[in-house]
Amino acid sequence: MGKFGVTEILLILAVVLLLFGGKKIPELMKGLGKGIKEFKDASKGEGEKAEEKK
């Protein structure tokens, strides 16, 4: 298991495009972005709550 090259990345992108189709990919990326944002907000909130208790 080495580093990914350009060929491997293009092959993975082609498989994803075939599986999900062009219309579903923006929806998947939007959902992924929302999930990451919620995770960051939650982790910030937990850190702030822990600091307030001290």
pLDDT at 30: 92
Q: Would you say residue 3 lies in a domain? A: no
pLDDT tens-digit profile of 25-34? 888 889 989 9
- Domains: count for the chain: 1
Q: Can you give the pTM of this predicted structure?
A: 0.50
Q: Would you say residue 52 lies in a domain? A: yes
Q: Would you say residue 12 lies in a domain? A: no
Q: Would you say residue 11 lies in a domain? A: no
pLDDT at 7: 92
Q: Would you say residue 36 lies in a domain? A: yes
Domain interval for residue 33: 22-54
Q: Would you say residue 16 lies in a domain? A: no
Residues of the chain with pLDDT under 70: 1, 46-54
User: What are the CA-CA distances from residue 23 to residues 1, 13, 15, 28, 48 (Å)?
Assistant: 32, 14, 15, 9, 39
Q: Would you say residue 5 lies in a domain? A: no
